[in-house]
Amino acid sequence: MMAAARLSFSDITALAPMVRVGTLPMRLLALDYGADVVYCEELIDIKMVQCQRVVNEVLETVDFVAPDDRVMFRTCKREKDRVVFQMGTADPDRALAVARLVEKDVAAIDVNMGCPKEYSTKGGMGAALLSDPDKIEAILKKLVTGVSKPVTCKIRILPSLEETISLVQRIEKTGVTAIAVHGRFKEERPRHPVHCDYIQAVAQAISIPVIANGGSLDLVKTNSDIEEFRKATGTSSVMLARAAMWNASVFTRQGPLPVEKVMEEYLKYAIRYDNNAFNTKYCLCQMLRDKVESPLGKQVQAAQTNADISEAYGLQDFYQQTLEQLQTRRGALQSSSQPDRPIMDGDVTTMAVKFERREYPPQITPKMFLLEWSRKEKLEQPQYETVQRSQDRAFQSTVTVAEKKYRSSLWEKSKKFAEQAAAIVCLRILGIPEGRIGEEDSGLVCKRKREGRMNGTTEEDVSKKRHVADILHSTETSEPTVVANGDGHKPTTPEKPPESPEQLTL
């Protein structure tokens, strides 16, 4: 197979990294409108290293999911060759661990060295790195040698031109592919004019591509202004933050399109990719700008779910259809998934199993079998934990046995059935009979029959049952591919309010 071409940073127009704004819907929208490269929001290394990479087959995304089930970073095939993963870090080893985690799902890795906010600088990240060039060098060198994708960084300018040039020359030597330069000093606010002369001097001093940034407020208002900004900074590449946040159609030559149209397209992506509702709201409010207090703005602000937001924009039908399509896909995935194949969902072993009452003799259930077996093995009683989802009131149960968790990926109509399904999963994984009619070695059924006949107990034949240690060992070592089905993971971005029930159910 041919390796994909490395992402080039010359002659590009990019969507800049923006916390909260640069999530998947905005990145896809920017690509639609003509951005060549899209940066994700800055994600902090400490949070990212704890994430698990999960393939979400329903949404057709790759999710990086935190231990608390939050989706820290969601990406998809469409942007794979265009998305730059930006991280906040002050630690070379952690930076490398994060880069390796996301490497195969993104086009490049970027380190944020320009954020002046306290939450970033107090950990030695962001703009704090600018005064620690040794640390910059250590981080970038580690990344350049440690990953196969291009590595870039985004800086602000230093108090003097000489210092700025000496820093970028040192950065160039680490082997990075490009440097984005936000033409403002650390202390300057976004309202201050951008220093195009600094960016120009940097572009002349190094030979790797320089991406000019900082022109949104005073210079870049329309697509043709991008060209002017390129000329003013002497760079071939430009990166836009606020201009794109306000109206992403700034990337299109035909633009700008009316912001109402842009908001609608944005919302469609947010629905399609089950974006966190509070994140969706936040982005729409940025686009509404001075209209945030209009009747539409107030409706958006009051919304709690993506369904509410869709209503505000008259997109209820789109919302409903998309939801149905996703449900259908989930159903198809569940029925096509081989029921015997266990799939890890976080730390839970799952199988697509349904409890069919008619398959078991009266008064015999898998739960009874599991209890009986646990007692025999001197294990704690199985613990069941059941959740109910709001959209159809269906139940799903997780059973814990010997500190391992088991669950059916299929939802049941009652709590009792959900528990039975979870018990079946556990029994099947451990290779223990479950009491089904016609099942070989159905110990409990035999026992009950014997009890009926002899009014006494006989030792069950346990020879076919594997010892718990063997069984648990075998499930650990034959760790299956991690595949999620879209249930339960709450898409979100850092520092956001809690998710709506909607996200829990999709």
Ligand X SMILES: Cc1cc2nc3c(=O)[nH]c(=O)nc-3n(C[C@H](O)[C@H](O)[C@H](O)COP(=O)(O)O)c2cc1C
Over the Cα atoms of the chain, what is R_g?
27
- Chain centre distance of CA 137: 29
Count of H helices and E strands in the chain?
A: 19, 19
Burial of 357 (0-12, 13-18, 19+ CB in 10 A): exposed
Name the strand (E) or helix (H) holding 351: strand 348-351
What would the x/- binding string for ligand X be over residues 223 to 262, using CB under 6 A? -----------------xxxx-------------------
Burial of 69 (0-12, 13-18, 19+ CB in 10 A): middle
Contact with ligand X (CB under 6 A) among 47, 142, 149, 182: 182
Residue 25 binds to ligand X (criterion: CB under 6 A): no
Contact with ligand X (CB under 6 A) among 159, 190, 431, 480: 190
- Chain centre distance of CA 226: 31
Q: Which residue number, 17 or 443, has a Cβ lying nearer to ligand X?
A: 17
Residue 42 binds to ligand X (criterion: CB under 6 A): yes
DSSP state of 128: G
Nearest approach in angstroms of CB 100 to ligand X is: 21
User: To 10 degrees, what angle do helices 277-288 and 295-302 make?
Assistant: 160
Q: Which residue number, 231 or 464, has a Cβ lying nearer to ligand X?
A: 231
Contact with ligand X (CB under 6 A) among 14, 18, 129, 181: 18
Q: Which residue number, 62 or 239, has a Cβ lying nearer to ligand X?
A: 239
Nearest approach in angstroms of CB 249 to ligand X is: 15
Q: Segment near ligand X (CB under 6 A), from 16-24, 304-312, 479-487, 497-505?
A: 16-24
Could you give the CA distance from residue 312 to residue 289 in angstroms, rounded to a whole number? 16
Contact with ligand X (CB under 6 A) among 23, 36, 41, 309: 41
Contact with ligand X (CB under 6 A) among 56, 75, 216, 279: 216
Residues 117-156 that bind ligand X (CB under 6 A): 154
Burial of 72 (0-12, 13-18, 19+ CB in 10 A): buried
Strands (DSSP E) found in 136-295? 151-157, 178-185, 210-213, 237-240
Residue 17 binds to ligand X (criterion: CB under 6 A): yes
Nearest approach in angstroms of CB 355 to ligand X is: 47
Nearest approach in angstroms of CB 216 to ligand X is: 3
Q: Which residues are catalytic, by number?
A: 115
* DSSP-assigned states of every residue in 36-77: SEEEPPPEEHHHHTT-EEEEETTTTEEEEE-TTSEEEEEE-G
Nearest approach in angstroms of CB 266 to ligand X is: 15
Q: Which residue number, 18 or 418, has a Cβ lying nearer to ligand X?
A: 18
Nearest approach in angstroms of CB 273 to ligand X is: 19
Q: Which residue number, 156 or 405, has a Cβ lying nearer to ligand X?
A: 156
Q: Evaluate the omega torsion of the peptide bond into residue 366 and state whether it is cis, within 30 degrees of 0.
A: no
The residue count for binding ligand X (CB under 6 A) is 23
Q: What share of the chain is helix, strand, coil (3-state, %, to 5)?
A: 45, 20, 40
Q: Which residue number, 88 or 433, has a Cβ lying nearer to ligand X?
A: 88
Residues 195-214 that bind ligand X (CB under 6 A): 213-214
Nearest approach in angstroms of CB 279 to ligand X is: 12
Residues 103-122 that bind ligand X (CB under 6 A): 112, 114-115
Give Cα separations from 34 to 248, 252, 460 (angstroms): 9, 5, 69
Q: Which residue number, 247 or 398, has a Cβ lying nearer to ligand X?
A: 247
Q: Tokens in use for 350? A: 């799952």
| Site of interaction with ligand X (CB under 6 A) | 16-19, 21, 41-42, 86, 112, 114-115, 154, 182, 190, 213-217, 240-243
